[in-house]
Amino acid sequence: MKLKIAVQKSGRLHDDSIGLLKECGIEVSNGVNSLKVTAGNFPLEVLYLRDDDIPQYVEDGVADIGIVGENVVLEKQKPITTLLPLGFGKCRLSVAVPKGSAYKSIACLSGRRIATSYPVILNAFLQDNGVSAEIHEISGSVEIAPNIGLADAICDLVSSGSTLFLNNLEETEVILRSEAVLVQGPVLAAEKQRILDQLLFRIEAVKRSKKYKYILLNAPDENLENIIRIIPGMKSPTILPLATEGWSSVHSVVQEDDFWNIIESLRREGAQGILVTAIEKMIV
């Protein structure tokens, strides 16, 4: 038996989705010429689909799980479960208006025409804010709508902001922040659930490893206690005596977020020869 996963066939989430499977030790070809491929070394079948179709296929059980933007999950309103965020495909769904518009607050959208491919999310946002506007649903190139006189504002995905800039638009409201998520449909048979649990275990290990760095340093013995307090590690750091009397080598893991603060504290405690490397997998 194989677990079936739906992945975007081509587009912004494709490479990172396949990359994640690879980091989980699962080898799949990228589906350039086929809609369905079987992994060589894990009981997984990959279905390559358009991202908009993934929630439906997962709901129907055609695919057991899928990788799709949370923005699509929220727009499609299907009864599927979000299992976990995957840390890529990050973007925001925002309202933007032509630069120089006299925009002060959401209330300025009242009675206006807003072009979007996300009518469900936009409608809920407007309702929550007590604003009534005209929603024009269009499926692509939303950013040109104001320039061709089709709309007064747009609601679209933004990542770098360069599309808005190039079209002389400015972002006025962020409706939601999104990233790729793993979704699941109906309850799985026991054997498939076991495969999913295995996959989730691997994904967690890969995700965790990205949050941490492995750190090695030399420390004067008299400051070891303070240094251990700064980098407590997973259980506790490994301490090995150096050939030079009065010095030890300390091995531990540190969180990426806090990295530079930690390095400064370590240097204050006399740490030297600090080496930092990426971790490929991290199992606690």
Cα 116 off chain centre by: 23
Residue 252: both structure tokens together: 């531990």
Binding partner selected for residue 277 from Zn ion, ligand PRT, none, CB under the kind-specific 5 to 8 Å limit: none
Binding partner selected for residue 173 from Zn ion, ligand PRT, none, CB under the kind-specific 5 to 8 Å limit: none
In the complex, the smallest distance separating the C-beta of residue 34 from ligand PRT, rounded to whole angstroms, is 16
Site membership for ligand PRT, residue 94 (CB under 6 A): no
CB 64 within 8 A of CB 187: no
Binding mask 210-249 for ligand PRT (x = CB under 6 A): ----------------------------------------
Residue 109: both structure tokens together: 């959208």
Query: Among residues 109 and 158, whose Cβ is nearest to ligand PRT?
Result: 158
Measured over the CA atoms of residue 10, residue 16, residue 21 and residue 25, the dihedral's sign is positive
CB 248 within 8 A of CB 219: yes
Of 36, 50, 177, 267, the residue at the interface with ligand PRT (CB under 6 A) is 50
Query: Among residues 16 and 204, whose Cβ is nearest to ligand PRT?
Result: 16
Return the DSSP state at 129: T
CB 180 within 8 A of CB 88: yes
The residues, ordered by sequence, that sit 6+ positions from 50 with a Cβ below 8 Å of its Cβ are 8, 9
Site membership for ligand PRT, residue 139 (CB under 6 A): no
d(CA 19, CA 178) in angstroms, rounded, equals 19
In the complex, the smallest distance separating the C-beta of residue 75 from ligand PRT, rounded to whole angstroms, is 9
Site membership for ligand PRT, residue 82 (CB under 6 A): no
Site membership for Zn ion, residue 45 (CB under 5 A): no
Sites of contact with ligand PRT (CB under 6 A) = 8, 11-13, 50-52, 69, 71-72, 89, 91, 156-163, 178
